[in-house]
Amino acid sequence: MNEIIQFGSLELRFLQSGQDMDAGLDLFEMLLRPGGRMPVPHYHESWDETVYGLGGTSTWRIAGRDVDLAPGESIFIPRGIVHGFENRSGAEARCLCILTPGVLGPAYFREMAALISKGSPDPAAMREIMTRHGLIPAPQS
C-alpha cells in the first residue's frame, strides 16, 4: 500500500493499513505545512499513537501540555488522552505516525479530504466523521 491523501494543510502517505495486516497497525507519513493544524482536539479509545519526527518541528498538545516534536524524537499518545497538533515553525514538518492496533485505516482521511475539498467544512460534519471512525472530539471549553 502506498496511498497519498491530501487535504487542507496535510498530506498523508499511507504505508500500511491494519485492514491489510490483520489489524496489526496503521502506518503513515504526515506532511504538515506551515500554519497547518488539527482543527479539532480529540482522543481515541481503541488505539494508541506513536509519532516519530522526520523533518521540521511540529507542536503537539497532549493532555493540555505543548510538546515540540523535532527530527529523531518521538512521542507516545495513549488511548484516552486528548491531543491535537499544529505547525508553528514556518517550515514544513514531517512525521511518521503509528497507530496500534491498526483499526483506523485510510477511510477516515479520505472522508475528511472529501469534506474539506468542498470549501469551508461544517464543524458538525467534521465531528460526525470523526466520531464514526473512533476519534472522539474533546469537549469545547
pLDDT of residue 139: 80
Record the pTM: 0.90
**What tens digit of pLDDT does each residue of 22-44 get?**
768 999 999 999 999 887 899 99
Q: What is the pLDDT along the chain (141 residues), one digit of tens a residue?
A: 688 999 888 999 999 998 777 768 999 999 999 999 887 899 999 999 999 999 999 999 999 999 999 999 999 999 999 999 999 999 999 999 999 999 998 999 999 999 988 877 788 898 999 999 999 998 865
d(CA 119, CA 18): 30
CB 108 within 8 A of CB 135: yes
pLDDT of residue 117: 86
Is the bond leading into 101 cis (omega within 30 degrees of zero)? yes
Place of cell 506551515: 34
pLDDT of residue 18: 85
pLDDT of residue 32: 96
* Strands in 17-91 per DSSP E: 26-32, 42-44, 48-55, 58-62, 65-69, 74-77, 83-86
Which residues touch 128 (CB under 8 Å, ≥6 apart)?
A: none
> Cα torsion for 100, 121, 95, 5, to the nearest 10°?
80
CA distances from 85 to 3, 20, 38, 52, 118 (A): 22, 27, 5, 13, 23
Whether CATH 3.40.50.2000 fits 3-136 = no
